[in-house]
Amino acid sequence: MNDPTTGESPVLELRDVEVAFTSGAGAKRRTVRAMNGVSLSVAPGETLGLVGESGSGKTTTAAVALGLRRPDRGEVRLLGAPFPRSRRATAGSLQAVLQHPHWSLNPRRRVGESVREPLTVVRAGLSRSEQRQRVQRMLEQVGLNPALAERYPHELSGGQRQRVSVARALITEPRFIVFDEAVSALDVAVQMQILALIRDLQLEHRFGALFISHDLGAVHRVADRVAVLYRGDLVETAATDDFFRTPTHPYSQKLLETL
Ligand SMILES: Nc1ncnc2c1ncn2[C@@H]1O[C@H](COP(=O)(O)OP(=O)(O)OP(=O)(O)O)[C@@H](O)[C@H]1O
Ligand SMILES: [Mg+2]
C-alpha cells in the first residue's frame, strides 16, 4: 500500500507474519509461537514504536524486519520488494542499532574504522580519504568530536559508544533502521540525549524506523505510532498521543499503569 499523502511505499510491511521456535526433543519438545500473524508497516520518515513485555516477540519481529529470519508464514516487504532478496540488494539500506554497542563495535578496532566499515561494502567506489571524510562528518552529526575516531570503544563512555553505533548505522544513508533496546542500557539523562539525536537525524535523513523498547517513556518521546505485542499477537496499533491518552486494549492499559 502506498502512503496516500506522498505516494511512497512503506519501508517495511509485514502481513500476517508467523514465526514459531521449536526447541528440545522427544517429550521435552516445545514450540513457542513468537509471532502470531503480525501485520504492521513503517512509512518513510516514520518511527513505529514496538512495545511489549519480555518474550512478547519484539526481537523476533526485528529479525524478520531486517531480513535475518524468514517467517514460517505471511508476507514481508522491505523497501517495496518482497523478502527474500539478496544481501547485496538491501546492503546499506537497512541498518540496526542494538542494545549493546559491543555487538556492533569491534573492541580491537578504532571507532573510526567501525563507522567506516559499512561504507567499504556498500560504496566500494569511494576513495579511502572520501570515506574518512564521511566518517568525520558523521561523527560530528551524532554530536561527537571527530578526534574520537582514533580511540578504541573501551576509551568511550556508554553514551558515546551508542552515538558511534548510530553513526555506523547512518553512514550508508539507510532508508530503514531498527533500534532494538538501543537506549535501554544507558542512564536516563543520556537516553534523553540519544532519543533527541535520533529524532533530529530522522528529520534530516528521513529514514523509517522500528523503535523497539520495553520502556514506554522512551517510546513516547520518539515514536509517531505505537504497536503493542502481547505473546506474539499485535493487540493494538495507534498514534502515539492517542495511545498514551486512551489505550484501547486491556493489555495496553495494564502496561501504561506500570509507567
Ligand atoms: N532462537 C530461539 N529459539 C527458541 N526460542 C526462541 C528463540 N528466539 C526467541 N525465542 C522465543 O520466542 C519468544 C519471543 O522472543 P523475543 O526475543 O522475540 O522476545 P522479546 O520481546 O524481544 O523479549 P525481550 O524484551 O526479553 O528482549 C520468547 O518466548 C523466546 O523465548
Ligand atoms: Mg528482545
Pocket of ligand 1 (CB under 6 A): 21, 23, 32, 34, 52, 54-60, 214
Which residues have their alpha-adjacent CB atom under 5 A from ion ligand 2? 58-59
Q: Is the pLDDT of residue 192 over 70?
A: yes
Q: Which pLDDT does position 146 carry in this prediction? A: 96
Other CB atoms within a 10 A radius of the CB of residue 124 amount to 8
CA dihedral 62, 66, 72, 75 (to 10 degrees): 110
Phi, psi of 150 (to 5 degrees): -85, -10
Out of 33, 59, 66, 234, give the residue to mutate to test ligand 1, the one with the largest number of ligand atoms within 8 Å of its CB. 59
More confident residue, 169 or 91: 169
User: Please, are residues 17 and 71 in contact by the beta-carbon 8 Å criterion?
Assistant: yes
57 CA: nearest ligand 1 atom: 18
Q: Which CATH number is 33's domain given?
A: 3.40.50.300
30: in domain: yes
Ligand 1 centroid–CA 46 distance in Å is: 25
4: in domain: no
132: in domain: no
- Tens digit of pLDDT for each residue in 66-106? 888 999 999 999 888 887 666 666 778 889 998 876 667 89
- Tens digit of pLDDT for each residue in 112-135? 999 999 998 887 788 989 999 999
Ligand number with the minimum distance to the CA of 19: 1
- Range of 63's domain? 12-93+174-257
What is the grid cell recorded at 35?
509471532
Q: Which amino acid is at 255?
A: L
211: in domain: yes
Q: Considering its fold, how many domains does the chain have in total?
A: 1
